[in-house]
Structure 1
Amino acid sequence: MRRSIPAFAAVLGLALTLTACGSDSDGGTAETTAPAGGEETTAPALTGTLTMWVDETRIDVMKPIVEQFQTETGVKVDLVQKVSGDIRTDFVSQVPTGEGPDVIIGAHDWTGEFVNNGVVAPIQLGDKAEEFSTSAVQAFTYDGQIYGAPYAIENIALVRNNAILPETKATTFDELVAEGKAAGKTYSVLIQQGDQGDAYHLYPLQTSFDAPIFTQDADGSYTSELGLGGENGDKFATYLQKLGQEKVLDPALGGDQVKEAFLAGESPYIVTGPWYTTEFTNAGLDISVLPVPSAGGSEAKPFVGVQGAFISAKSKNPVLANEFVTNFLTTEAVQTELYKAGGRLPALKTAAAKVDDPVLAGFNEAGATGAPMPSIPEMGAMWQFWGTTQVQIIGGQATDPAGAWNTMVTNMQGAIDSAS
């Protein structure tokens, strides 16, 4: 079902070398006989207790996985449920005191805060990193190192009501709008906005203009350099104005409004995530999930959110923590069980490929090369500038879209500079 313990010895080479001279009541007891004549050495017995924190939104998903780990290894796991509003801050405050857990389950966009506070240790996925979707690994990459083992991903995509349009021929977003209008419904395509704007749901269109919120290094790490300015940003801002003038985008349509409109059959298309598609299928709609077509000529990349496991920098049982995070949680069997329990796409490509739910498979295709939600600390200050400017352009309050966009970029840069 998963790799044998002898294979694990190779992954933890340094740790095992250090423990080979004696015993460790927390991490196990190792054989002291040196290899001779090519004979295999014996891996350490895994003993001790592993403490893991999980919030109430993930506890039921992780319980059977932890029980399986205990059965296979004999390791006792103390699974602690924490309040979702407190788990992140408690981890940051308690790890330095030695009171935190060995492992914490959470979202990838916690990574920047955890690394900057020195509370998580990098993990070594090695060649196994290639077995995960690119966006999932990039999501946990910070300053060139990987800090979490991904197990589930989610993103938005284009959802089609097959009763209104049985097929999509459009290869660009403008062609999609034209198809939607030809269907004769109230809306050509629904993308939620609201009076505060919604940059998250517009991000696939923005990236298709090569105007990402931040630039990325070759390894996928986000820098603090803004990437949405310049000529490409100006073009996207002008395109937003066009969509607003054509009433494709409307500040009056927030999340609830677009959901209800799609349920009522008022549009053949909606850009949304799996959190709404369950309601659509439960209501009897026949839907398909497709990638968002490009508006600017480049690939439309949605934000990707990733769930995973972090190892505490102060773990009392680093060998056990590594065994769970890098060897157990990353197997196809475990990732498949997590998918069945939580309904989110596995981050492991082989597990994702076996998902037989066509809706989730569609989201997988749409987000396979998506853009991980930036986990750098600077990201938090960007949303207000971003959404406000976009909704002003869409609603017509900003008559010079490029000018408004450049002012937004200047304000974003000011927020970054003042925080550094």
Structure 2
Amino acid sequence: MRPITSGSRRLLQLAAIGATGMMLVACSGGGGGDDDAGASGGEGGGTITVWMDQNRADALADVIAAFEEESGTTVEVVIKEFGDIAGDFVTQAPSGEGPDVVLAPHDALGNLVSNGVVSPIELGDAAGDFQEIAIEAMSYEGSVYGVPVSIENLALVRNTALAPEAPATWDDLVSTGQAAVASGAAQYPLLVGLDPNNADPYHLYPLQASFGGPLFALNEDGTYDGSDLQIGNEGNLEFASALQEWGTSGVLNLSISQDIAKEQFAAGASPYTITGPWSLEQFDEAGIEYAVDPIPSAGSLPATPLVGVQGFMLSSYSENSIVATQFITDYIASEDAQTAIYEAGDRAPALTAAFEAMPADSPTTAFGEIGSDAVPMPNVPEMAAIWDQWGATEAQIIGGQGDPTQLWTDMSTAIQSTIDGS
């Protein structure tokens, strides 16, 4: 794929909100109390409460206003920190204090379903209007649980002044980065934000995947099998040994946090950083010229990042579920809404029409193209047992605190024990 440069970056212009929203076939398993609700495109009524973060609320202000005018429904938006939404939803929904509609990450889906707080939404043929990976991510045990809006994933961001060409392999990246440091042109061969105690499994996973290091086995339909943990396989052990080597050589540095990594790359201190589209605004403001490339493989397989998909889901406790479903499927699923969210957050739209309308030379488009070949982050409940021990072990290995094979094997055993005891 050709590199996408920041010099040619531009935003789409949001089309006027009209009454021509995409009509989807939808139904809900939510609660009762729908006497005020009308059919899709007809009269609505009552009130629905929607939980989302400030960024998405600002982006959707015109879409929400159009829905209120056209449906006769009042939308009460409750602003929450995105990282708090799913946990608060599980706690408050059963008590009647939760929303009708909630924005949540797809990897929380297994927990939301197992707690009975979300209802499936039947998209019918309209599911084909979305990127395949987005629908796959928003599905659990054969059902779709919401309308996806944003797709985000990691890629390699390259300072084109320090590294004019994309590295073909991980070894090429390391050698180019080390040469830039040796010449005095850069301070760091690579910037990857890490935590001294928990590393960052998400940012390091593409490299892990390139060694053939999965987390779980896959079912025949491509979904994750949470009962079949694979984090201790041979490929993962090879990755563990590589982690120690990169820590010893300084390619990975536990003293560089996410914030430091972004700041230093924006200051021109390294040819490369592994990051997501959420960093682009900072790089643009700094005026640095960069390109977005696939992360080169360190093993024998592609360096496949984990894709995060964010979507709007229907509460199973909604008392106005027909109108809430209409809001999700007719308005949130529209090209206007998905484009507005993209413009506000530099994340690729899940709706194919909105994605294809992005400028071909946009960095966000490059991230989206890389993400289309990636894999969804596991959304099975067993994933909750992995994160803490996974990150802590990576930090120990990078920091040279023991034999990498033994540390990784002990971690795998401990994770399996936690899953078995859940």
TM-score range, shorter-chain basis? 0.7 to 0.9
Structure 2 stretches lacking a partner, 5+ long: 1-17
Partner letter of residue 377 of structure 1? P
Q: 344, 347, 350: which is aligned to 1:347? A: 350
2:393 — aligned with what?
389
2:233 — aligned with what?
230
1-side partners of 2:64 and 2:237: how far apart? 50
Say if 2:321 is the partner of 1:321: no
**Do 2:191 and 2:261's aligned partners in 1 also have CA atoms closer than 8 Å?**
yes
Partner letter of residue 99 of structure 2? P
CA RMSD of aligned residues (A): 2.6
Pair 1:247–1:318, CA change in 2 (3 A): same
Pair 1:14–1:325, CA change in 2 (3 A): closer
1:289 — aligned with what?
292
Q: What secondary structure, in the 3-state scheme, does the structure 2 residue paired with 1:190 have?
A: coil
Pair 1:48–1:240, CA change in 2 (3 A): same
Partner letter of residue 216 of structure 1? L
Count of aligned pairs: 392
Moved more, 389-398 or 220-229: 220-229
2-side partners of 1:325 and 1:256: how far apart? 34
Write the deviation string for residues 29-83 of structure 1: whole angstroms up to 9, x where unpaired: 7xxxxxxxxxxxxx88332234132244332223222112223x33313223144
**Do 2:60 and 2:340's aligned partners in 1 also have CA atoms closer than 8 Å?**
no
**Do 1:50 and 1:321's aligned partners in 2 also have CA atoms closer than 8 Å?**
no
2-side partners of 1:308 and 1:235: how far apart? 35
1-side partners of 2:318 and 2:201: how far apart? 38
Partner letter of residue 262 of structure 1? F
| Cα distance, 1:116 vs structure 2 | 0.9
Pair 1:143–1:162, CA change in 2 (3 A): same
2-side partners of 1:14 and 1:239: how far apart? 48
Give 1:350-369 correspondences, 5 Å limit: 350-356=353-359, 358-369=362-373
**Do 1:179 and 1:188's aligned partners in 2 also have CA atoms closer than 8 Å?**
yes
1:26 — aligned with what?
36
Q: What secondary structure, in the 3-state scheme, does the structure 2 residue paired with 1:187 have?
A: coil
Pair 1:298–1:349, CA change in 2 (3 A): farther
Structure 1's consecutive aligned runs of 4 or more residues displaced over 4 angstroms after TM superposition are 1-5, 12-15
Give 1:210-229 correspondences, 5 Å limit: 210-224=212-226, 225-229=228-232
1-side partners of 2:177 and 2:125: how far apart? 44
1:142 — aligned with what?
140
1-side partners of 2:341 and 2:220: how far apart? 30
2:12 — aligned with what?
none
Give 1:249-328 correspondences, 5 Å limit: 249-328=252-331
Identity of aligned residues (%): 42
Q: 48, 51, 56: which is aligned to 1:54? A: 51
Write the deviation string for residues 338-358 of structure 1: whole angstroms up to 9, x where unpaired: 222343321112212222262
1-side partners of 2:342 and 2:77: how far apart? 21
Partner letter of residue 171 of structure 1? A
**Do 1:171 and 1:293's aligned partners in 2 also have CA atoms closer than 8 Å?**
yes
2:382 — aligned with what?
378
1-side partners of 2:380 and 2:340: how far apart? 31
Say if 2:212 is the partner of 1:201: no
2-side partners of 1:269 and 1:116: how far apart? 40
Say if 2:157 is the partner of 1:159: yes
Please give the TM-score of this superposition, normalised by the length of structure 2.
0.84
| Cα distance, 1:320 vs structure 2 | 1.8
Pair 1:390–1:78, CA change in 2 (3 A): same
1-side partners of 2:239 and 2:278: how far apart? 27
Pair 1:286–1:149, CA change in 2 (3 A): same
2-side partners of 1:388 and 1:132: how far apart? 36
**Do 1:199 and 1:386's aligned partners in 2 also have CA atoms closer than 8 Å?**
yes
1:336 — aligned with what?
339
2-side partners of 1:82 and 1:335: how far apart? 19
Say if 2:193 is the partner of 1:192: yes
| Cα distance, 1:377 vs structure 2 | 2.8
Pair 1:4–1:338, CA change in 2 (3 A): closer
Please give the TM-score of this superposition, normalised by the length of structure 1.
0.85
1-side partners of 2:130 and 2:341: how far apart? 15
1:20 — aligned with what?
none
| Cα distance, 1:142 vs structure 2 | 1.5
2-side partners of 1:161 and 1:309: how far apart? 35
**Do 2:169 and 2:298's aligned partners in 1 also have CA atoms closer than 8 Å?**
yes
2-side partners of 1:4 and 1:384: how far apart? 42
2-side partners of 1:388 and 1:266: how far apart? 27
1:19 — aligned with what?
none
Q: What secondary structure, in the 3-state scheme, does the structure 2 residue paired with 1:46 have?
A: coil
Pair 1:270–1:87, CA change in 2 (3 A): closer
Q: What secondary structure, in the 3-state scheme, does the structure 1 residue paired with 2:386 have?
A: helix
